[in-house]
Chains A and B, each alone.
Chain A
C-alpha cells in the first residue's frame, strides 16, 4: 500500500467556485449579502422592509433560495425589484455552484444583491457562495441561547440581526443575554435589534448598509 498526502479541503471546489462568483460580483460592483436564519425567523420580511426603503436610492436584486416554490420571490417582486429564484429541490443550503447558475440571468449591474438562503442555521454556514458577508437573523421567539447552540453561523456572520423585537413582551427572550452569547462566538459582530413588523431599529441597518455600499464603491474605483 502506498500513502499519498493530499491536504486539501473537502469543499475545495465550492471554495474555488465561490471565489469565481466573487470576481463576477466585483466586476459588477455589487455588494452581496448572504442572509441566513432558521425557517420563519423573518428573512423575507427583513428583505422586504429593507428593499422598500432602499430601492429609492439603489439598484437591488434579490436572489431567493428555497427548497421548493416561489412564494417568497412573488411577494418580493410585488415591491418592484428584480428577483431571481433558485430552487434547491433536496439541498438544505445554497452553494457556490447553485449561485453560479444565476449569474447568466443577471442582466444589469446592481448596487446590492440580497440572497435569501434556505431556512436553516446549520448547513448554509458551511458553504460560501461568493458573498461579501453573511448576515444572520435571530428572532426573539427562538430563544436567546441559539448563538451557543449554532455557534458556527454566529461565529462567521459579520452582521447579526435580532428580529421580532415587538414580541419581547410575550416571549422569554433576554436581549442582553442574546448579545452576550453572540459575543462569546463573535466579539466583532455588528448587532442590530429590529422589528420587521413595526420597522423599529431599521434606521441603523440602513445607515450600515449605505456605509458598506460606499466602501464597496471606493474599493472598485481603485
Chain B
C-alpha cells in the first residue's frame, strides 16, 4: 500500500546521495527496517524494480537488515528483545517500557562505483 510512496522516497534519497558523493552507479542499498514498522520488504522490492529505472540506482539491489525490537524496563531495568511489538517486560510484566530499537527505517549505506 504505502510502500509505493515510501520506495519513491528511498530511490530519491539514494539517488541524491549518489550524486552528492559522486557515485555513478549504485549496486547495493543497505536498508535497515525495524520490526516495529509497517513496511514490507517484499512490496518495497516490487516497487523498487519499477522506480529505480533511469536513476543512479538502476542496477542496484536492496539488502534488508531487520532491526529487532529492543526494550528496556523502567521498573526492573532489564533489557530484552521481543518478537512481537507488545511492549511488556518479559521479566516482570511491567508496561513502563522504553523502546530502544525497532522503529528504524533508514538507509545505512550505499555501495557502488
B65 within 8 A of A: no
B10 within 8 A of A: yes
Query: Among the interface residues B17, B36, B107, which one has the most CB atoms of the partner chain A within 10 A?
Result: B107
Contact B17 A151 (CB under 8 A): no
Residue interface bits A182-203, CB-to-B below 8 A is 1, else 0: 0111110000000000000000
Contact B13 A1 (CB under 8 A): no
Contact B106 A10 (CB under 8 A): yes
What number of residue pairs across chains A and B have CB atoms under 8 A from each other? 101
Residues of B within 8 A of A126 (CB): 2, 6, 37-39
Contact A2 B108 (CB under 8 A): no
Contact A2 B86 (CB under 8 A): no
Contact A151 B85 (CB under 8 A): yes
Contact A155 B87 (CB under 8 A): yes
Contact B85 A4 (CB under 8 A): no
Contact B85 A7 (CB under 8 A): no
Residue interface bits B86-113, CB-to-A below 8 A is 1, else 0: 1110000001110000001111111111
A78 within 8 A of B: no
B67 within 8 A of A: no
Q: Considering only CB atoms and an 8 Å cut-off, how many residues of chain B contact the other chain?
A: 37
Residues of B within 8 A of A2 (CB): 23, 111-113
A2 and B88 CA atoms in complex are apart in Å by 42
Of the candidate stretches A18-26, A55-63, A89-97, A165-173, the one touching chain B is A89-97
Residues of B within 8 A of A187 (CB): 87, 95-97
A14 within 8 A of B: yes
Residue interface bits B12-54, CB-to-A below 8 A is 1, else 0: 1110010001010001000100001111000000000000000
Contact A7/B111 with A122-B2, A184-B88 known, Cβ cut-off 8 Å: no
Residues of B within 8 A of A95 (CB): 5
A160 and B108 CA atoms in complex are apart in Å by 34
Contact A122 B86 (CB under 8 A): no
Contact A4 B110 (CB under 8 A): yes
